[in-house]
Each structure stands twice: as C-alpha cells, then as structure tokens.
Structure 1
C-alpha cells in the first residue's frame, strides 16, 4: 500500500548521509526514501526565492531581541498581556480525533501530556504561544522518533535564534539554529519534517510572521518613555527643570567665577535629588528662578500613559479591564470581557496552533489526526456552550448524526443505533 504523505511533497532522495552533529540541539535522523515524481510548485514562489536568494539563511529585519526587552521584559502592560494570553491558551484542553472517532487514549495525547523530561503540556505550549506573541513565529523541534513514528520529545526553539533557508521553489529547505557562535541546520527536504513552524500573518514577509509587539512598538516606546520621565522627575524631587537668572545691581547678568562655583555647589549639595525634596531655596539679591519644563498636569501625563497602555492591550487583543487599565467601559462587566477575550483572542490562537501541530504530527504518524480545543471544558464559555447544546438538542428536524456534527463531534459507529 502506498504511503500517504502529509507534508508539502513526498521526500526526496537524501542518500545514506552520516548522522548530523547535534551541537546545542538534538536532531532527528532524516529518513531515506526513493526519488519522488515531479511535484508542482508555485511559479510566484520561485520568483520570490530568486529575489531573496535561494539557499541562503534569511534573518530579515526583525529586531526581536529589542522588542522583547522593551515590550515584555521592560513593560508591565506588554508582560501582562503576553502572560495572560499564553497561560490561558496553554490551559485550554485539547481533543484528538480523526474522521471516525474521538480518542480518549492516543499516542499523540501521551506525547502532549509529557513532551519532554523538563516540561509538561502547559509549560511547552505556554513557551510556544509566548514565542508566537513576541516574535510572530513559533518553532517546535521533533527529537528521537519512536517505533510508532512519533517524536519521543518535543522542544520549543527560541525564535530569535532560528533563520529560514528558502529553496528554489520558495519553500524552506532548511532551518538554521544559531547559538554561541555555532549553527545547526535542520534539513526540511525529507519527510517527516523535523521542525514545525507556526507563524502569524505578515503582509510583507514570505517566511516570517508579524507579532503584536511590532504593531504596538510605538505605544510601547511612549509608555516606557513616560515611565522613565516619571522616574527622572521623582529623582529630581518631583520638580520640573528650570533656570536661575541673575541680574546684578548694575544691570549686567554676569556672575564672577567665584559666585558661579558657589551657586553650582549649593545647588548640587542642597537642592538636587529626592533626599532634598521640599527644601527651600534661598536666592540672594539678583537671582530669580524661572521654570523651563512642563508639569505633569500640563503634559496630560497620566492620560498619555493610559492611552499608550490601552493601545498595547488592543494590539494583543486583551480587554483593558482584564489587566487593570481604567478608561472607557467597552464591556458591561468583567464576565463579558472575559468571554470576549476567550472568543476573540485565546481560542483563535489556540485553534490555529493546535491545528498546525496536529497536521505536523500526522506526517510523523502516517495517518491524519486532528487536534483542537475542547470547548466543553472552558469555564469562561460554559454559559454559551449550554445554550448552544440546548438549541441543538431541541431541534427536532435534525437527526442524531446531524446534531453531533453541529456540536463538532465525530459520527458514532455505524453499528450504534443512536447514529441516526
């Protein structure tokens, strides 16, 4: 019986190549297969690959490290938004099914339950979702293929260390993982693929996805700048900058060197820094203080910072009230915002990633399986799910098989009389 391939094409003949060096990452062996028949490819893909340089690693203009440091490590709004989405999506239960049945016990479910010795399912998917949210790309590596064809372990690779190597047809022929001055290449010309690449939509990049952090970059910079200015203002005893103007008795505004040195010394020693907050300044004859900066109220400082925080939350699809940002009451209450958060942000991300991982594992398994979120086990959607079940159950014009299909359930066995 001919083998069914779930990848882009049947594997090419890679010869009896020696095992590859592992380096910092584990690599699965590339299977040996016969030369496949000619496979159709996109003509536009070949043109794009020629323009970008086929066979060379494409790093692109992605400053993922800078965005991660400024928008996640150094910004509380971006940090909370990413953590909220990644943790919620990683906690969504998954179901494994095919065209005939839903499995309670399956090798894929066992692999998901313990993907590697250091992580469980929640930790692995939280890292994967976090990489997708921060960089627009998520990479899963398959390690140590078992007798069943499935990987023995799954590992999430850091997106900022991975580069795509496109082929003549525009499809990736390899992925390069660089760390510590060393590179390891994952060959993608065989089947099954050692790397699963999950990427977000990017309108101007053929190989890498676009992250919400890129869309929120300006808002992140405004928010960070406002926080830095606030700290500098507090360090300066919460007073804006200004100038001391001297007008002598003769009308000449010039200080002698001794007067200037004394004035600077007194300012630095007695009137700068938070420890000197509130200390009165004694200005001798001819000296006058003129503020030259704007006060926080003049700059509408608080509103500017809140507006930037709302833009960051909007880019990630998180209702502002869920992360404590005051402002317009877009949702009537917290429960409504929570349901919208799951419906519009968490579930689309979890569904897309689960589908990509399921298709990739189908290639390893040799038969098609489907991974999808189990909507019946999400507490935030329990009320909507109950209403949906009642409507479908009360529809007398539907058969039992049609009701199961409407609820997203696989059909029952033909021998079961409840199958309709």
Structure 2
C-alpha cells in the first residue's frame, strides 16, 4: 500500500504520464466510461451521445435500459398485423404478407421487426433497404445499422442520398423515386433540433443511465475496498516541520489522490499516512447517501423516458398503477400501439410505391391478449347499441362488412 509523505522529494521530468495527467487535471475522474463523477469534482461528467456510446453504455451495460429496449422491441415485433389492399382486406397469400413473413434469407419477420424497433429505441433512426427482383418488386428487406448510414443533404437541405459505410467502403443509396419506388426507408423519431436524424428515448434517458451506472460502479468500488467511506487529508505540522505545505507537495498529493484514491474503482480504499498527515472522515456513508434509492430513482427516470411503467421492470417505489395488469394495459395503449402504428404507416406508404397499389398495414387489436379486457368492454358497448346497423357495428370492431348488413339488428330483410 502506497503511503502519503508530503516531504518526500517530488519526482522529476520522468514522472509517469498518468501522474502528470492527474496533477494537471485534478478535477477529472473516471470511475467508469460514460459515468457521472462527483468525488472532488466541480461538475458531473456525462457520457457522449453517439449511437455507439448509447448502445455501449446504455443497452450493453445498463440493465434497466437494456430491458426497456428489449421489452419494447420484442412486444412491438410480436403484434399481429392486418393488411388491406385498397378498401378490402388482402388475401393471406398477398406478396407483402410473404415478404414481411420472411424479409430476407437470414432473418424472419419477427426478428426483422424487432431489430427495426430496437434501433429506433437506441438511436432514434432505422434504415431499411429493399432489394428488387427482375420484375421490379422487392424480393428482400434488410435493416441497415444506423451508425453506418449517413444522410447526404441536397441543396435545399433535404436528404438526396444515404451513404452506407462498411469495411472501409461506401455505397450510395439514392433517395429519388423510380416509378414511385424508393430503395431506402428511413424511420425516425421526432427530433426538435435536427431535420435529418431522430432523437431516441435512450438519448433522453442518458442522464439517468449515467447516474445509474455511476451508482453501480461506486457501490462496487466500496465493496472492493471493504466499504470504507471517503474523507479528507488534514496536515498537522509538528516536529519542526513548516506550518504549511509547499506548492510542490500540494501538487504531488493531488496527483497521488487522483491516481490511487479517486474514482469508483478506488472508492473507500484506506490510507497509509505519514509526515504529519491525518485522516478526517467527511463524506457521508453509503447508508446516509442511500445509493440504493439513488439507483431506483435513476431507474425510474430511464423507464419514464422509454414509456415503460416501472412496475413492469420490478422497480420498487412506484405506485402509479393499482396492479400489474393495469400497468401492462397502459404500456400497450400509451407506448407500444402508437409506436407500431407509426412504423406500420411508414411501411405501408413505402411498400405501396413498390407494388403500385394502396396498402395499409395495421395492428390487429382483437388478437392482443393484453387488451382483451378493453375489447370485451367494446364488444358489450357495440352490442348494446340498437341504433347501429350490423355493418356499422362490425366497423367499430375492425371487421369487414357483410352482404345485407346495412340494416338495424332485428330488422327483417324485406323491411327496406
């Protein structure tokens, strides 16, 4: 264990680079990449906001953000779909149904949509490329990694092409339509300050992710160092020593503090003191600072950004909903169905250009178990409405009209 001696000779020009850097930047700490830092720091440090950093620090290293992204992507991809061509429901063997069931040879339909929705949650953008066959119809759909796609703006500021970069090569995909067919579909969430790219929920939740990761790193550091709290070094002159430390001694102590005792990895490390130095506990203990509640608060902020009720994630302290079923219904109504509707609307308009007919993809709400209670209440209300015709009742339930159904229930067929 290294010891502190303020009167030890300061190292010369061959001082280790890490110590020199710590002495020059005594307020910069790094307990974990992208984590917030409080100890001996004048301000918190937050992680970068690139797609790679969001995916690394949020999706890969934060359990709450990871679960939110997975929950939204998996549930949204599993929603049963209906397809209409024009004003009638499309047949089960419609080419679009087959295409969405098997978008490409490597990916099934559920995995394809799960990838698209996960990319929207992590980066706010999703890009889908269509490969055409000899007849000019899409034979395969491929999701492109958002961090590899760059929007090329035109003279008016709107996108004129997309550059897809992989393995040091760049492939340009035009935006211009050929007979109504666009090779790339760009899905994005709303961004108030950017015309080209979307703003992801994970970006909005990044502060909560940083705090949550920092709390985890800090607690881990305390456990690694016998859970001892932090404190301060106090210089007690005596035995003929000067009343104050010299500038060189102060700088050396700062450097050694930064190298050996600051950051989540060194949290609670005990001091070995000499040369008139005394240890003065000054920081709050982990129980006083209540890191567990800090973690739960940050976790609730992350869940709020994604629109996931904390009750579904097992986060304590949230009593917004009376029970799990109510929270689950709110999750489907307020988060999943609007997300699926936006995605399917964009897919419908994009594929309509390829097939030359008006296509409409929609979520089949009648087939969702999570909304069974809502559907049952709707059925009762519609059935108890004698002023609606049979086809009007079926339209309320999302069903196709029936021949002869334009009359009120109980009316004889010849009453017209």
Q: TM-score, normalised by structure 2?
A: 0.74
Q: Which of 105, 121, 136 does residue 124 from structure 2 map onto? A: 136
Q: Secondary structure at the match of 1:176?
A: strand
Answering whether residue 404 of structure 2 is matched by residue 417 of structure 1, we say yes
Q: Equivalent residues in 2 for 1:116-131 (5 A)?
A: 116-131=104-119
List per-residue Cα deviations over 1:106-136 (Å, max 9, x = no partner). 1111111111111111100000000011111
State the partner residue of 1:164: 151
**Residues 95, 103 of structure 1: 8 Å contact kept:** no
Q: Which of 392, 399, 409 does residue 389 from structure 2 map onto? A: 399
List per-residue Cα deviations over 1:126-159 (Å, max 9, x = no partner). 0000001111111111013353x43111111111
Displacement of 1:252 in angstroms is: 5.6
Provide the aligned length of Structure 1 versus Structure 2.
Answer: 344
Q: Secondary structure at the match of 1:340?
A: helix
Change (3 A) 1:395 1:235: same
Displacement of 1:201 in angstroms is: 0.9
Change (3 A) 1:105 1:295: same
**Residues 351, 373 of structure 1: 8 Å contact kept:** yes
List per-residue Cα deviations over 1:287-317 (Å, max 9, x = no partner). 8642243311232322222111100000000
Structure 1 window deviating more from structure 2 (339-348 vs 190-199): it is 190-199
For 1:78 and 1:281, locate their aligned partners in 2 and report how far apart those are by CA, in whole Å.
37
For 2:49 and 2:285, locate their aligned partners in 1 and report how far apart those are by CA, in whole Å.
37
For 2:299 and 2:206, locate their aligned partners in 1 and report how far apart those are by CA, in whole Å.
11
For 2:308 and 2:115, locate their aligned partners in 1 and report how far apart those are by CA, in whole Å.
19
Q: Equivalent residues in 2 for 1:4-403 (5 A)?
A: 63-98=50-85, 99-145=87-133, 147=135, 149-189=136-176, 190=178, 191-242=180-231, 250=239, 289-403=279-393
For 1:249 and 1:219, locate their aligned partners in 2 and report how far apart those are by CA, in whole Å.
48
For 1:127 and 1:332, locate their aligned partners in 2 and report how far apart those are by CA, in whole Å.
33
Change (3 A) 1:81 1:253: farther
Q: Secondary structure at the match of 2:220?
A: helix
For 1:167 and 1:410, locate their aligned partners in 2 and report how far apart those are by CA, in whole Å.
44
Q: TM-score, normalised by structure 1?
A: 0.74
List per-residue Cα deviations over 1:332-379 (Å, max 9, x = no partner). 000100111111111111111011112111110000110011101111
For 1:380 and 1:343, locate their aligned partners in 2 and report how far apart those are by CA, in whole Å.
10
Displacement of 1:241 in angstroms is: 2.9
Q: Secondary structure at the match of 1:156?
A: strand
Structure 1 window deviating more from structure 2 (382-391 vs 330-339): it is 382-391
**Residues 153, 160 of structure 2: 8 Å contact kept:** yes
Unaligned ranges ≥5, structure 2: 1-47, 244-260, 262-267, 408-416
For 1:291 and 1:84, locate their aligned partners in 2 and report how far apart those are by CA, in whole Å.
44
Q: Secondary structure at the match of 2:192?
A: coil
Unaligned ranges ≥5, structure 1: 1-60, 255-271, 273-277
For 2:314 and 2:134, locate their aligned partners in 1 and report how far apart those are by CA, in whole Å.
47
Change (3 A) 1:356 1:410: farther
Displacement of 1:164 in angstroms is: 1.4
